[in-house]
Each structure stands twice: as structure tokens, then as C-alpha cells.
Structure 1
Amino acid sequence: MNGKRFFRTIQVKLVIIYLLLILVAMQLIGVYFISTMKTSLTDNFTNNLKEQADILSKLAARNLAMKPSSDSEASSESAEDLSLVVRNLFSISGTEVQVLDGNGRVVATSLQVAESYIGKKNTSLAVSRALQGISDNEEEVIDENGVRKKIIALPVTYNDNERVVGAVYMVASMDSLYDTVNRVNQIFFSGLLIALGLTGLLGILLAHTITSPIQGLTRQATAVAEGKFDLQVPVLGDDEIGRLSMAFNDMTKRLKEALSVNEEENEKLGSILSNMSDGVIAADEHGQVIIWNRRSLEMLEVQSCEGCSLSELLGLTDSMLRELQQGKQQTVILSREQETDEPEGVLRATFTPIHRRDKGITGTIAVLQDITEQEKLEQSRRQFVANVSHELRTPLTTIKSYAEALDDGALEERELSERFVGVIRNETERMIRLVTDLLHLSRLDSNQAPLRRRQTNVHEMLDEVADRFSFQLRQKSIRASIRVDRSLKTAWLDRDQIDQVLDNLMSNAIKYTLDGGTIELGAQKPDPSSIAISVKDTGIGIPKKDLSRIFDRFYRVDKARSRNMGGTGLGLSIAREIVKAHGGTISLSSELNEGTTVTFTLPALQQEDGESA
């Protein structure tokens, strides 16, 4: 694997390219040079043989022109002289030479064994052509020993009439020529190997100068991919690679700055998402959740959204989710089931499609808002309006009925008219009390009832409350007692408003305590920073199912009995608002048929704090 990777490097490729270029160039040069040299040597060799054959033909022309009928002794001497010339001239060169007469018979030869050839006829094609007067007779042959030979045959003509009197036949070995060519090939091949070795070494050096900066760029790119932006690529020159190195260093710097800005923005976005009061969920184009914040987990009461689909997470159908993703619908109301007895929670999910250029919708962002409290407030408002309407309608209906009765003739009967007028007066006073309580609650809700704190003796305040209700207590034979801790002397509070709280609590305790019962007013300090005041009775108590709503406005446990006793259903609500304005809390504990205890706790302020409040 490493070997394959090595041969794929730019350095090896450059060296191979250099070597291939040199090899191709040297091969072209070698082919041209060897071919030219071989042609030149062959031409020179052939021309030399032709010149020798031409000389021999001129020497042999006179002897061959002699008639065979002439003096036989003279003719024999002439043939011997010709053979001697041939053997002397061509014995050194190793060329086989034959002088032939007009009939193609060997007259003289350069071979040592002449007797076996003299007088024999040479039947080769070249000789036949030469005896016919054709001068261009040459050919290359390879004998049975594998020796390449050059054959030349020239006609021998006599000067007087250019008559062909014979032929010169020459056979020369070309081994020396081809040995020369082979030696040149070997020299060229050796030179090629040396040139390739030097080119390879030079190519390695040159390739290293190119690949070394590239390797540095590669290492830097790998470091940048791993998040290391502090390294710099060395700039080794002002060439293309040097400019590339400078551009890469500048790119690394800009990338580092861009990533820093991106990380900062991501941290800001993450911090915003984590601390948002609304839940945020982002999904891809397939509806798979990819981003969520902590608030969304709390709202949906799940541990994680990883691997969840948006439809399963929010309990939506696929068709509804597609409409929301496409922007056909933006808002949907979701209900959550509560594990406790509290009303189920209500979520409002607002969907916004994510658009990407040239790709359309690539995802969806859902913003979850907990509107449970808003729904509760809206429901309370509707219930409050209904309760107020009902509370006002009952006395108004009674007043109208009795007024119509008086108008129909009851006014003429004194006793009946007085009773009717008394009922109208009571219902009117009840409406006045109701409106007064509503106005008081309105001022408390809008903080238009400022506290006027002053130092108050707690024991004295509770005594006065008992005195105010002494007549009602005697009527029902209820015994009232006061218990105050010795350490608790005075407190800084709004005496008028706390008196109203105590009056409301005392009035309720008397109403719902049977004759002969007891009521206990108490005050203590559960800790140095607070004061607890309680009203405890032995009345009929409150069922457990009503305890959670006892402080709601117009809420009554026994509606008919409360109206008959003159209650408006706002006393405990007013008490809670007054205690809350003092920075305290109020609570109620009760057992059915055993009694009820209402306790409100106020902060134990010092004189400076009370004056500044």
C-alpha cells in the first residue's frame, strides 16, 4: 500500500516524466543516427566494392577480349597473370572475386583453391544480368552459416565497341560493417543509460525543489483541517509556488478569523437558545429533529430529542406537519397531560420554514410557548365576568321582582310593603358591598392602594378585632381567645388593611362555626425575620377538593348558604392580595367537621424599613 502511494507522489511522477522525455528523445536521436550511419557505411562499402570491381574489369578486359583460337600458350599465360593479380589484390580483404568470360565460366578467382573453380560456370542471376550488359547488379544474402554478404556483378566491356567480353563477380562479407554498427549501438545504449541516470538524479533534485513546498502546503492543510491555525507555510521564493504559499497563509489567517467569529456567534446563539423562555426545535426537510434547547425539553417533558421526528415529538399528523412545513399554516395549539391534579398544560407552536437558495424549503423551526398561565388567566377572566354577572343579577332580579310587586299593589299593604322594602334595602346593600369589594380588589391589582406602614401593637390589634365581633360571638355563644408570643410586641404594617384581613377571616370563622364553638386568634414569630398571625376555629371545615380554589374570587364551598349569610365570595381573595402586597403569604388548612386554620405570614420589618416601604 505504501509502495503504491509512493509511486503516486508528484516527485516520482516528475522524475518519470523527465526520464521518459530523455528516453524518447534519445531513442529518436539514436534511431536517426544509427539508421543514417548504417546507410552511410553500407553505401561506402558498396561503392568501395564497385570501385574495386570496376578496376578489375578494366584490367581483365584485354585478357578476356583475346580470341580463344589464338595462341593457346599465350592465352594460358594471360589467364595465369589475371589470377595472380586477383589473388594479390583481394587476398587481404577476404573478398571472394571471380573473373568470368563471356560464357560465365570462371577464368580467375581470389580463392586459394583455384582448380576447383577455374573453368566452372557461375549460374547466379547477378552474373547472368552482368553478361547481358546490366551494370546495376547487387544484392545482400545470408549464407548457411548466417553470415550476411554483399554480392556485386559488373560486366567487362572492351573499349573498341563496348562489347561484353565477361564479368566480374564479387562476394564480400558485411560482418565488419555490422560489428561496427553493433559497437555504435552499444556505445549509444551505454550513453543512454548514463544520460538516464544523470537525468534521474537531476530530476530528483529538481522535483524536490517543487514538491518540498507542496509537501509543506500539504502538512499545513492537514494541520488546518485538524484545527491548528498557528502554523505558517515558509515562502521560499516569488514564483508560482511562493505566491501559492503566501495565498495559503493569508487564507489560513482569514479562516481562523472567520472560525473565531463563527464560534463566537455559535456561542451567542447557544446562550440565547439555552436561556430563552420559549422552546425552540429545528428539523430538517425530512422532519427529523436536529437542534433543540433546554426549555423545549422541559415543555415537552422529555429527556432528549435526538433521533425523534417532529411529528412524533409534537403529536402531529403527517399531513398537518407538511402544511406547517410548507407555510400553509403557522400556529398550532398543543395540549399536555399533567401527572398531577392540575389542569393540563397548553403550548402554542409557531412554525417557520427554512428556505435555501435554489433548494427551496430545507427545514422547519418550531417555537414553543407555554400559554398555560394565559389560558388560566383568560379562563379566570371569563369566570370572573360570569361570576360578577351572576352575583349582580341575583340581587337585581330580587330588587326588580319586589319593586314590581310593590308596583302591582303590595305598596297598599303596610306590613307587606315594609317587608318588601327591607328586602330591597338588603339586596342593595349587598350589591354595594360587592361593588366595594370589587373596587378594592381592582386597586390592589393595579397597585393603587399604597401601604401606610406604622408601628402596631400586635396584641392590641387582635384584642380590637375580638371586640368588634363580640356581639356576633355572644349571639352564637362562641368563645374567642387570643394567644400572642411574649417576644412579639410590635410590628410594622398597614393597620387598616391588616384589620380588613382579620375582619374577613374572623367573619368567616363566625359564620361557619356552630353555636358554642371556639375561635383562637394567635400571633407568633416562627423565625426572626417573619411574623405569623392565625385565625383558628372549630367550625364545619372545608372539603379537601375545595382547598386548592378557596382563595379564588367568587368561589364558595356552599354557594347558597354563603349568599344567605351575606358573603360576596371575595373576602379571602382580598385578604390574599393585601398579604401579598405586604410581601407575605397566606395559607389555609382545614379538616371537614373539625375546623379551619388560616395563617398569614408577614416579614418582620424594622422601623427604617417600615418607613421606607
Structure 2
Amino acid sequence: MIKRYPFFLKLLFPLLLIVLVPLIAFSRYSGFSMRQFYLDQISINLEARANLLKDQVLQYLSVEDEKSIDILCKSAGKSSGTRITVMEMSGKVLGDSEKNPHEMESHSDRPEFVKAITGETGVFTRYSDTLGEPMMYLALLLKKDGQLLGVLRTSVSISAIDKQLDIIHKRTLFGMLAVALLAALAALLFSRRISSPLEKIQEGAIHFSNGELSYRLPVFDSSETELLAKTMNDMASNLDERMETIVRQRKEIEAVLSSMTEGVIAVNSEEKIISINQSAARMFHKEQSELLNRSVQETLRNPDFQRFVRISLMDEKPHEDDIFFHFRDEILLNVRSAPLIDAGGDRIGIIVILNDVTRLRRLENMRRDFAANVSHEIKTPLTAIKGFTETLKSGALNNPAEAARFVDIIENHTNRLIAIIDDLMKLSVIEQNIGDKKIALTEYQILPVLYSAIDVCRAKADEKDIRISCSCDGALKARINSALVEQAFVNLLDNAIKYSEPGKSIEIEAKKTGSGIAVAFQDHGVGIEREHLSRLFERFYRVDVSRSRKMGGTGLGLAIVKHIVIANGGSITVESAPGEGSRFVIRLPVYAS
């Protein structure tokens, strides 16, 4: 893996190279040039010294005075600090300022000698085996009147020059190091000045990529980085606003979908659920997470619904159907579909709207049953009245006893019609008052209401020798409409007396519960089978039609009781079994809403 370096180091190293490479090159070049300059100056000096001695040496060579030549070399060499050597054309040393010429070997192979005998000035820098140090040699050809007499060589040690140059080189090196350090510091500051804003911008970009769009980059001195930071801040601000808008719109859509009583499902072209609101999930008795991003066939195992989805996906027309679903209970959903269109106008699936119409259909059925029952309940006595009236008109009036019996029957049916109409009127008034919230509730004691209801039913109970007992705390109170609650108590007591055999008893118990009060009516009559209990409070519903009519019931008494209890903010339940009697319990809140 390639190692990544910080940006300021990437800037620092090239800047240092830009400074150090010229410095090193200059140092090397200046050292070389300085050395060459010194050597050139030494060469000039050696040639000048040689030319000063040239005439004297030629004079001694012409007379072959070797001794004088050696003395001249030693004295001149000592006074000038120069090594002076005179050689004849064969290379034999005739005189030397440093050594005894008789002890010295032939110099015919020395490069400066070889070059000098060709007529050129021989200049060479080399290590002297005789003296054991580096020397610069300069050799001149000595000739007089066209005759070649020998070679004059001057030389000096260049060790001192090298030492001086080493000192200069070291000082230069120290200077270079100081310049390099200053350059490094300047490069570091420069690179940090450039990289610091970029690192800040990089840090800001990381914040932005992590969704922290409220983060803002600082303002920098450089116009370029300032413009870049400002541009990124503006971009983040715009993105933040757009994201907030998108999130707000999404939350608004989710709030709308969550608050809808209708279920909403979005299904893509692959029959996969891509969106579903809480109402739809509740209808299917599942969590949203169990349904989201899963296929309809996998999650909703209802062949009718699956077929509806497939048909809706096949064409672009809206579809509607009522489909039964079986969960804990059977429910009926009204299902409607419409094409799902994306922002580009392409069809990507369907939207399915679900309405739970179970209660609505049940109410429609109850309405139809109610209309049929009302018609039947009213038509039956009217038919009887009409029949007996026609009988009277056809001659029964001539028989006083028969006519009186017919009139009694007509009166009973008339009273029955009046009772039915009175009960219907009561129900209508109660329902209207519930809808308009016109029923006045006041804090009232329960015991007087129970006693009043018992007094109303006392005569019927005495006729059948039925004993009514009441257990109620005199301080027990509730916010009720006492007249309506008394009517409910009367209806329950009347039913209990009707369906109890002579000599039985009815127990009434009122007590306080955790959330309010409960008033129970227990009889020991014929009882009710379990399948009738769920419909017992429906209008005109009778367990035993013939027996109910024989006892003069209208079929509306318990429906009236239920609506009165609801109007007082309470509820009513029933428990019963054939031969064991029935127990009706009215529950009222202490402070009815």
C-alpha cells in the first residue's frame, strides 16, 4: 500500500530541493573554481620566478658550472620559498634547492620535463615521491643561440592551498547549512501557510461528507482559498437548506400518511412493497418493518388481494374491489389502486388505498335489518287491526261479546304500535342528544335512582311474587343524567321480571371500581344462549320472537339501555347461560366525559 504523506510535507521537500540543489551545485562549482584560480595564480608565479632565474641559469649552463647552479638553486629556493631544479637535456639533475643533485635520479620521465623539451611550458600538479607531498611543477626549456642547454623547473607545495581551501569549504558548508536551515524554516512556514487552509478545507469536506452541513469553514487570507472556502460554505448552506426541506417534506408526508385512517401501500413493478403507512400495517396486524421491501405474495397471503395487485400492475386504469381478510376476526377492506408515477413521469408501480369498511357494511346491514324489522313490527299490528276492523264491518258488530273481544285485540295492537313508536322516539332523541352533546350531566347519588326504578317496577314484580334486593352505598355518586339512567334501570328490571319465573329473586348491586362505578342486575330467569349475546343490544333483535311478543316487548328496550349508557359516558356488558339467568353490568365513570 502506498504511504500517503501530509500535503505540507509534499510542498516542503520540493521547496528544500529547490534551495539545496543550487546551493550544493554552487558550492561544488565555487570550490572547483577557487582551486583552479589559486592553481592558475601559482602557475603564473612559478613561471615568473623561473623567468627571473632563467638568465643566470643559462649563464652557468653555458660554462657547465654545476656547482654554481646548485648553489643558485638552493639560495634562490630558500629566499623565495620555492623548490628550484635544473636539469640537463638528458634528465640529469644539475641542481636542486631541496636535495643533493648527485643523490637524485634522472627526471627524464617527469611529465613536466617531457613537455618542456618539446618547447612548451610544462605545468603539472602531482604527488612528489621525493618530498612526499602534492606539488605544482612548472618547467621551461633553456636555450641560448638556438642551442638547447637544459630545463629549469620551479615548484611549490599545494598542501597549504588544499588546507586553506578545506577551511574555506568548511566555512562555506556551515554557511550552506545555515542557509539550508533558514530555507527549510521558510519552506516549512510557506508550505504550512499553503497547506493549512487546504487542510482546514479538507477537514470541512469531511464534516460535510458526514452530514454536518451546519459546519462552516473559516475565512482565510489568501484570495484563492478564501473563495474556495466561501464556495464550499455556500454549497453546504444550500445543501443544508435543501436537506432540511427534503426532511421537512418527508416528515410532513409521513405525518400525513401516519394520521390517515386509510391504509396506503406503494407497490413497485416487481410487486414489492416500497412504502406503507401505519394504518395499513395495523389493518394487516403487522409492523411496518415486517412488510417494507418485501413482496406482496410473501407478506400478505390473500389470493384475492394478490390478484388485485397483479391486475392493477398490468394496466394503467384505476381499480376498486371489496376484499375479505381473515385475521383475529374477519374484516372487509375496500381496496382502490392508481398508477404510481415518478418525477420523470414514468410509471413505476401502483398506489393502493385501503379502507376498513367492516363496520360500515355491518351498519348498512343493521340499517337494512332495522328497516325490515320496523316494517315488520309495524305492519304486523296494522294487519291485525285492519283484519279485525274488516271483521267488525262485515257483521261482527251485531254480536256484542265478539265485537268487544275484537275491540280489545285492536286496542292491544294499537298500544303495541304506540309503544314501538314511543321507543323509537326515545332512541331518536337520545341519539340526537349524543350527537349534539346536549345531555346535561350532574353529580348525583345512585341509590335514589335505583329506588325510583324499583318503585316503577314494583307492581309487576309483586304480581309474579319476585323479590328485588338492592345493595348500594348511599354515598356512591356519579356524574349522570338521572332521568335517563333511571329509564335504563327500569328497562333492565322490566326485562329481568319478564323472563323470570314466579317466586324468583333479582339482585341489584352497585359498587365503586377502579375507574368509576358498576351497577349489576342479576336475575335467575331462562337465560340467553351464547350466540345471541353479541347482538342482544341491536334494535328489534329478539332471542325468542314469539315469547317476546307474547310478553309485550317492542325489541327496543336493550337498545335504549345501551344508548343511555353511552350518553352517560359508560358501557354495558352481559353474561348469561341458558337456565342460569342473566347478569347485566352498567359501568359509569365517576366524571363522565
Please give the range of the TM-score, normalised by the shorter of the 2 chains. 0.5 to 0.7
Aligned twin of 1:442: 428
Is the counterpart of residue 391 in structure 1 residue 373 in structure 2? yes
Aligned twin of 1:310: 292
Instruction: Judge conservation of contact 1:130–1:167 (CA < 8 Å) in 2.
Output: no
Aligned twin of 1:596: 582
Q: 1:138 aligns with which of 123, 138, 160?
A: 123
User: Aligned partners of 2:169 and 2:576: how far apart in 1?
Assistant: 123
TM-score, structure 1 normalization: 0.58
Would the alpha carbon gap of residues 151 and 309 (structure 1) be closer, same or farther in structure 2, given more than 3 Å must change? farther
Shift of 1:495: 7.1
Letter in 2 for 1:186: K
Instruction: Judge conservation of contact 1:139–1:152 (CA < 8 Å) in 2.
Output: yes
User: Aligned partners of 2:92 and 2:543: how far apart in 1?
Assistant: 160
Instruction: Judge conservation of contact 2:142–2:149 (CA < 8 Å) in 1.
Output: yes
RMSD: 7.0
Shift of 1:48: 1.4
Instruction: Judge conservation of contact 1:158–1:164 (CA < 8 Å) in 2.
Output: yes
Aligned twin of 1:35: 32
Instruction: Judge conservation of contact 1:82–1:108 (CA < 8 Å) in 2.
Output: yes
Aligned pairs for 1:83-102 (under 5 A) are 83-91=70-78, 93=81, 95-101=83-89
Q: 1:466 aligns with which of 432, 440, 458?
A: 458
Aligned pairs for 1:543-582 (under 5 A) are 543-558=529-544, 561-562=547-548, 567-582=553-568
Shift of 1:544: 3.6
Shift of 1:38: 0.5
Instruction: Judge conservation of contact 2:111–2:124 (CA < 8 Å) in 1.
Output: no
User: Aligned partners of 2:582 and 2:336: how far apart in 1?
Assistant: 47
Q: 2:359 aligns with which of 346, 357, 377?
A: 377
CA deviation map 1:236-273 (0-9, x unaligned): xx977xx99xx99xx9xx99xx9xxx9xx99xx89x98
Shift of 1:97: 1.7
User: Aligned partners of 1:487 and 1:125: how far apart in 2?
Assistant: 146
User: Aligned partners of 1:530 and 1:125: how far apart in 2?
Assistant: 134
**Other structure's SS at 2:466 match:** strand
Letter in 2 for 1:36: S
Shift of 1:357: 11
Percent sequence identity is 21
Is the counterpart of residue 165 in structure 1 residue 148 in structure 2? yes
Shift of 1:150: 3.1
Instruction: Judge conservation of contact 1:541–1:594 (CA < 8 Å) in 2.
Output: yes
Aligned twin of 1:49: 46
CA deviation map 1:32-81 (0-9, x unaligned): 432222111110111112222333334444565x5xxxxxxxx344x543
Instruction: Judge conservation of contact 1:480–1:521 (CA < 8 Å) in 2.
Output: no
Would the alpha carbon gap of residues 530 and 376 (structure 1) be closer, same or farther in structure 2, given more than 3 Å must change? same
User: Aligned partners of 2:590 and 2:73: how far apart in 1?
Assistant: 155
Shift of 1:386: 3.0
Is the counterpart of residue 110 in structure 1 residue 130 in structure 2? no
Aligned twin of 1:72: none
Q: 2:164 aligns with which of 169, 173, 180?
A: 180
Aligned pairs for 1:131-530 (under 5 A) are 131-133=117-119, 135-142=120-127, 147-158=133-144, 163=146, 165-170=148-153, 172=155, 173-192=157-176, 310-311=292-293, 316=299, 337-338=327-328, 343=329, 375=357, 377-392=359-374, 394=376, 437-447=423-433, 459=451, 461-467=453-459, 469=460, 474=463, 478-484=464-470, 497-498=484-485, 500-502=487-489, 504-514=491-501, 516-518=502-504, 520=506, 522=508
Shift of 1:561: 5.0
Aligned twin of 1:230: none
Aligned pairs for 1:113-128 (under 5 A) are 113-115=100-102, 122=108, 126-128=112-114
CA deviation map 1:288-343 (0-9, x unaligned): 999999x99999989x999x7735799737999x999xxx99999997944xxxx3
TM-score, structure 2 normalization: 0.60
Aligned twin of 2:400: none
User: Aligned partners of 1:399 and 1:281: how far apart in 2?
Assistant: 51
**Other structure's SS at 1:115 match:** helix
User: Aligned partners of 2:486 and 2:429: how far apart in 1?
Assistant: 17
Letter in 1 for 2:565: V
Instruction: Judge conservation of contact 1:278–1:368 (CA < 8 Å) in 2.
Output: no
Q: Point out where structure 1 has 5 or more consecutive residues left out of the alignment.
A: 67-74, 226-234, 361-365
User: Aligned partners of 1:116 and 1:26: how far apart in 2?
Assistant: 50
Would the alpha carbon gap of residues 570 and 313 (structure 1) be closer, same or farther in structure 2, given more than 3 Å must change? farther
Instruction: Judge conservation of contact 1:53–1:168 (CA < 8 Å) in 2.
Output: no
Aligned twin of 1:71: none
CA deviation map 1:470-509 (0-9, x unaligned): 7xx85xxx22334456975999976764564355335533
